[in-house]
Amino acid sequence: MKKLFSILLTFLLSGFFIQASAADAQPSKIKVGILLPLTGTFAAVAETQRDGALLAVDVINKRGGLNMPWGKVQVEGVVEDDEAKLDVGVRRYRYMVSEGVKGVGGQTWAPLAYAINSVVAKEPMPYFPVCVMAKDAYVKGKLADSTFSAAYSPWTVGYMAGKAAVQTLGKKKIFFLARADSWGWDMRDGVTAAAKEFGATIIGYDEVSLGTSEYTTTLQKVRAAKPDVFIASQFGGDAVALLKQVQQMGINKEMTIFSAFMTNVVAKAISPEALEGVYSMHYFYYDLSGFEDKEAAKSAKEFTDLYRTKYKNPPDAYAVIAYTAYMEMFRGFETAKSFDTQKVTAALMSNKGVFNSVKGPAKWREDHVAEFKHAAFLVKGKAPGERKNEWDIFTVMGSQGGEGVLPSLKSLGY
């Protein structure tokens, strides 16, 4: 009798655990991690990334949730501050995983994104960095199988800036100012590749460290070199300081100024007088009303209206990177019909990795970098008198995109 009772108890307990396991595999609500440096140097940009990610969560929940085989699944975005510190970021990432998140996105500081990618390589999890990581991170064997990058490397930024300066603006003599780290050096290599390909020459070069506030010596070198175009890799506060001094010294009256990569948050900190006539590459600019690709313009307007409804202001570039990343994470779950990491990875790469973004067609390459028809838009700073409101900052002059603006897969070891 005791033996029969023991068998029945084992059977009942087994059934309980099977049901519990099935419930875990078929939840009605999931959490996803949003890990960003919401305090410190990168806070202003990180806030736009957070807003883009949370908007993606809202879009899914307002349609009832993720479409999974067992029904609708609501999504909760769990926001944490990584403080742009390696130890803090990795620790908080691990905490999110321990709390049962089904995927994680974030990072504004590229070194932390790469550190988390290293963890993901050993402990697979759908991971979507939303920053511009160094080119070296995309070399075969370094990017985790389940890491997907909705942005690209600084090499691509430099290549697009160089190509636009030479091919679109007709410049032949370039002075390039790098930042003395992988951001600046990758960008330098991209500009150099574009110059060689399209028939221009780098006639001057200098580099300065992150956080430089005084550019007089460098700008004297630029003036002496007499280039057609001055391309600078400086970003954030560095770009603000540089362009202010370019205007003060009158360098902008002597040559074309090209600030390689720009966002609205950065541009708003630059006086209209200093930004007037300055060219930049912009991952996404909200006003594409005069853009030749009408489908992209329509999609951008629809997204901008959606974003403004929630946040009042138009979306900035890094908000769009984050929105794109999380919408792809969610598409991966739905296409895989599962939250299993391997199945999600395979699902995103199915159908040749093709997907639609708010700025037009895109696809995931073999290196898990998003290839966009419009990788970035060439913009030109408006004169103070041309601006209709505080966000009317740039005129869109064109775009760069396609596989040609990315490092070749062969160069990355594929």
Q: Are 212 and 274 in the same domain?
A: yes
Residues 181-195 pLDDT 10s: 999 999 999 999 999
Residues 9-22 pLDDT 10s: 444 444 444 444 44
Q: Are 263 and 390 in the same domain?
A: yes
For the cut 70, the answer to whether the pLDDT of residue 2 exceeds it is no
For tokens 């007037």, name the residue.
Answer: 276
For tokens 């329509």, name the residue.
Answer: 298
3-state secondary structure at position 358? coil
Residues 6+ apart with CB under 8 A from 36: 46, 49, 50, 79, 80, 81, 82, 106, 107, 108
Average pLDDT over every residue of 393-412: 96
Rounded to 5°, the CA angle 354-281-405 comes to 45
Q: What is the dihedral of CA 117, 120, 124, 128, to 10 degrees?
A: -40
Q: What is d(CA 161, CA 177) in angstroms, rounded to the nearest whole number?
A: 13
Q: Are 338 and 256 in the same domain?
A: no
Q: What is d(CA 237, CA 246) in angstroms, rounded to the nearest whole number?
A: 14
Residue 155 · residue 260 · CB < 8 Å: no
Residue 365 · residue 411 · CB < 8 Å: no
Q: Which of 351, 202, 382 is nearest to 279 (CA)?
A: 382
Average pLDDT over every residue of 153-167: 97
Q: Are 337 and 318 in the same domain?
A: yes
Let me know if residue 204 belongs to a domain. yes
What pLDDT, on a 0 to 100 scale, did the predictor assign at position 182?
Answer: 92
What pLDDT, on a 0 to 100 scale, did the predictor assign at position 10?
Answer: 47
Residues 6+ apart with CB under 8 A from 326: 32, 52, 53, 56, 57, 105, 128
Let me know if residue 14 belongs to a domain. no
Q: What is d(CA 341, CA 73) in angstroms, rounded to the nearest whole number?
A: 17
Following DSSP, what letter does each residue of 154-189 receive, concatenated? HHHHHHHHHHIIIIIT---EEEEEEESSHHHHHHHH
**β partners of residue 259:** 232, 280
Q: Are 217 and 127 in the same domain?
A: no
Q: Are 390 and 253 in the same domain?
A: yes
Residues 278-297 pLDDT 10s: 999 999 999 999 899 999 99
User: β-strands 360-364, 354-357: how paired?
Assistant: antiparallel
Average pLDDT over every residue of 153-173: 97
What pLDDT, on a 0 to 100 scale, did the predictor assign at position 324?
Answer: 98
Let me know if residue 9 belongs to a domain. no
Residues 78-116 pLDDT 10s: 999 999 999 999 999 999 999 999 999 999 999 999 999
Average pLDDT over every residue of 29-55: 94
Q: Are 211 and 170 in the same domain?
A: yes
Q: What is d(CA 277, CA 256) in angstroms, rounded to the nearest whole number?
A: 8
What pLDDT band is residue 40 in, cutting at 50, 70 and 90?
confident
Neighbours of 109 (CB within 10 A): 23
3-state secondary structure at position 178? strand
Q: What is d(CA 334, CA 344) in angstroms, rounded to the nearest whole number?
A: 8
What pLDDT, on a 0 to 100 scale, did the predictor assign at position 41?
Answer: 81
Q: Are 171 and 202 in the same domain?
A: yes
Let me know if residue 233 belongs to a domain. yes
For the cut 80, the answer to whether the pLDDT of residue 28 exceeds it is yes
Let me know if residue 364 belongs to a domain. yes
Q: Report CA torsion sign: 381, 266, 60, 399.
A: positive
What pLDDT band is residue 3 in, cutting at 50, 70 and 90?
low
Q: Are 323 and 216 in the same domain?
A: no
Q: Which of 291, 287, 296, 286 is nearest to 316 (CA)?
A: 286
For tokens 């990491």, name the residue.
Answer: 341
The region of weakest confidence among 162-166, 209-213, 247-251 is 209-213
State how many domains the chain has: 2
Residues 367-378 pLDDT 10s: 999 999 999 999
75: left (phi over 0), alpha (psi -120 to 50) or beta: beta
Give the amino acid at 390. E
What pLDDT, on a 0 to 100 scale, did the predictor assign at position 5?
Answer: 45
What pLDDT, on a 0 to 100 scale, did the predictor assign at position 14?
Answer: 47
Neighbours of 229 (CB within 10 A): 23
Q: What is d(CA 245, CA 213) in angstroms, rounded to the nearest whole number?
A: 10
What pLDDT, on a 0 to 100 scale, did the predictor assign at position 42?
Answer: 86
Q: What is d(CA 31, CA 79) in angstroms, rounded to the nearest whole number?
A: 10
Neighbours of 56 (CB within 10 A): 24
Q: Are 272 and 240 in the same domain?
A: yes
Q: Is 7 exposed, middle or buried (0-12, 13-18, 19+ CB in 10 A)?
A: exposed
Average pLDDT over every residue of 125-133: 96
For tokens 């930024």, name the residue.
Answer: 157
Tokens of 296: 């992209």
Average pLDDT over every residue of 21-40: 84
Phi (first) and psi of residue 152, to 5 degrees:
-150, -170
pTM over 0.75: yes
Residue 294 · residue 411 · CB < 8 Å: no
Residues 353-363 pLDDT 10s: 999 999 999 99
Give the amino acid at 249. M
Q: Are 395 and 363 in the same domain?
A: no
Let me know if residue 243 belongs to a domain. yes
What pLDDT band is residue 73 in, cutting at 50, 70 and 90?
very high
Q: What is the CATH number of the domain that holds 256?
A: 3.40.50.2300
Let me know if residue 17 belongs to a domain. no
**Domain residues for 175?**
154-282+375-412
Let me know if residue 354 belongs to a domain. yes
Q: Are 317 and 269 in the same domain?
A: no
Average pLDDT over every residue of 45-66: 97
Mean pLDDT of the chain: 93
Q: How many CA atoms lie within 13 A of 398 on its CB side?
A: 11
> What is the percent of the chain where pLDDT is above 70?
94
